[in-house]
Every structure is written in C-alpha cells, then in structure tokens.
Amino acid sequence: MIPVYIITGQLDSGKTSFIQSTLFEQDWWQNGNTLYLQCEEGEYELPADYVRAKKITILPVEEEDCFTKEYCEKVTKENRPEQIVIEFNGMWDLQAFLKKDFPSDWGLAGIYSTVDGQSLELHMANMRNIFMNQLIESDLIVVNRCRPDLNRVTFRKAIKLQDPAAQVIFEGLDGKIIEFGEEDLPYDIKAPAFTVEDADYGTWYADAMENPERYLRKKITFLCQLYRPFGMPRNMFIPGRLVMACCAADIKFYGIPCKSDKAFRFENKSWHRITVEFQTEQKRDFRTGNREETPLLKLISMEDAPAPADEVVTL
C-alpha cells in the first residue's frame, strides 16, 4: 500500500512550505522516491537541490478531472513512489475528490491543511462554504501568520464541531505555536459556576469534549432541548442544541449525556433551562478497547423555558 498525503488550503496559505518544513522531515517518511502531484502553483517553489536530494518527482495537475483511476495508475507505475503527496487546489471540492475511484494500492495516510491567519476572517466572512470544505476532513490544521488580536475561538470551534478529532494549531507572526488556553474561552472557566450563552454553546461543547478536566465539578447553566434516545435509562437524557458549523446542510444536534437522581418523563425536543454539574465516567472505546474518561453531566435543576427566536446556534 502506497501512503497518500493530501495537503489542502487556499492559494498562498503556506502549503508548499508546510510540505517542505514539516511533512518531509518526519521520522516515518520513507527514503525512496516521492511523487508530488501539484494541483496549483503558489509563490513559493521547492528549491531544485532540495527536490533532487529528496528524490521528488513533481507533476503538475491543472484540472480535477485529470484524477482518473487510469491516470493515477499510470503515474504510479512510471515513478514507483514510496509515498505520494497531493498539493490540493484550494478551489476544488475536497469532499467530492475523496469519493473518486483511486487505485487499490493507494492508501490515504493523512489530510493536512494550512490557513493564512491574516486572511482567515475574510475567508470566513465571504467564502465560508468553499473555505471550510477544504478543512473539515483534516487530521491537522495549521493556522499560520496569526496576529495577536485574531479571534481564534470562533474558527477553532467551527472546525471542532464538524471534526472533533482534528488537531488545530495556531502560529504567530514569528512562526511559534500559540497555545489554546483558558483565556481564549468566552466565559470564566475559573469560576465554580457560570452560564453558557447561546452564542457560546458551540465553544463550550467543543472544549468540554476535548478538555473535560477543565470543567470537573463546575456548575454550568444553559438553554437546551432535551432528547432521550431509544433504550436510554429513564433517569438519563441528552441536553443539547442544534448547531450550524458552516451551512444549513451541516446542522446537527450536539449534547452530552446527563443523569438525574430519579426517573422522569419529558417530551423530546422540549425546551428547558438546566443547571448541571460536570463530571466524567469511564467508557470503553469500541474501536480500541481502551477505557477512557468521557464527559457526563449530573442534573441539579431544570425549568421549562420558551424556545429562542433562533433555535439553531450559529458560529
């Protein structure tokens, strides 16, 4: 199986630099030939001596339709690569691309994305769907060239809600990594109790799922809909909200299981304002078999509440 690495991002977001400085320098990178399928050409090019030393064959691919199974088999046979790098075109549809019929000996090894932090807010405001489509399948997203005043929270939660497993890294103008800390949260995480406003529900959910230790024993109040899946015990339910991360097509219900001291009935999708204590419980991951700490809420109080003017939380 030949590992295939896809590098996505808008033009001049630093894809080629990332490939050179990060991807090619990993310990697991094979020493043999690398087939580099370049789907767009930015300002920066790999130095010729670097290309020769790394045994890289660069082939330009100007049209997405060129990626037929026959073409991929042909270039694989001609170049016999140990690995394949696809520098993806920032205006192509990654979701559609991944559904193509590729050779049976091609194995997707990773999707990595780069984002120019200086144009991030402009892209989110004016071409959000195309921009986000390039990112939501990523294993790693590197947002580079970030100004100190960049709103990192909004972008990070937009990614995490659609792809919780993605790792998001922010780099400053100096190239150093900016750690996501408690100061980036829109509520006082140090307080023993706080309220999550509608606009901040997505941030809270994404951060609580990734960093549950921050919320242990905190008392949290928020407006939500209640839902009990078939088979769930009568003393448990899922409070949550409908969240739109990118567009209307991706609206989903996001919530964390909650337990009560006693069984009770309610109408699914009914609105309530609840206060809970954040806890965790051990659950076995069905994929790995390992036991992991997962978030679990304990109900403290609940009251009926009218539905908000907009039932969908936007990012």
For 50-67, what is each residue's pLDDT tens digit? 999 999 999 999 999 999
Neighbouring residues of 276: CB distance < 8 A, sequence distance ≥ 6: 219, 220, 221, 239, 258, 297, 298, 299, 300
Q: Where do the structural domains in the chain lie, given as residue ranges?
A: 2-178, 186-314
The two tokens of residue 252 are: 């989903």
**pLDDT at residue number 247:** 60
Under the banding of pLDDT at 50, 70 and 90, the label for residue 85 is very high
Q: What is the mean pLDDT of residues 63-78?
A: 95
Among 110-124, 125-139, 148-162, name the most confident range: 110-124
Classify 2-178 by CATH class: alpha beta
pTM: 0.66
Q: Are 2-178 and 186-314 in the same CATH fold?
A: no
- What percentage of the chain carries pLDDT values higher than 70? 96
- What percentage of the chain carries pLDDT values higher than 90? 62
| Least confident range of 31-35, 171-175, 179-183, 185-189 | 179-183
pLDDT at 183 over 80: no
The two tokens of residue 179 are: 């750690």
Buried-exposed string 29-49: b where 16+ CB fall within 10 A, e elsewhere: eeeeebbbbbbbebeeebeee
pLDDT at 81 over 90: yes
Q: What is the mean pLDDT of residues 182-196?
A: 90
Altogether, the residues listed in the chain come to a count of: 315
Under the banding of pLDDT at 50, 70 and 90, the label for residue 41 is confident
Pick the CATH number of 186-314 from 3.60.20.10, 1.10.340.30, 2.40.50.140, 1.10.940.10: 2.40.50.140
| pLDDT 10s digits, 237-279 | 999 999 876 566 678 999 999 999 999 999 999 999 999 999 9
pLDDT at 84 over 90: yes
Mean pLDDT over all residues of the chain? 90
Q: What is the mean pLDDT of residues 125-132?
A: 84
| pLDDT 10s digits, 201-223 | 988 998 899 899 999 999 999 99
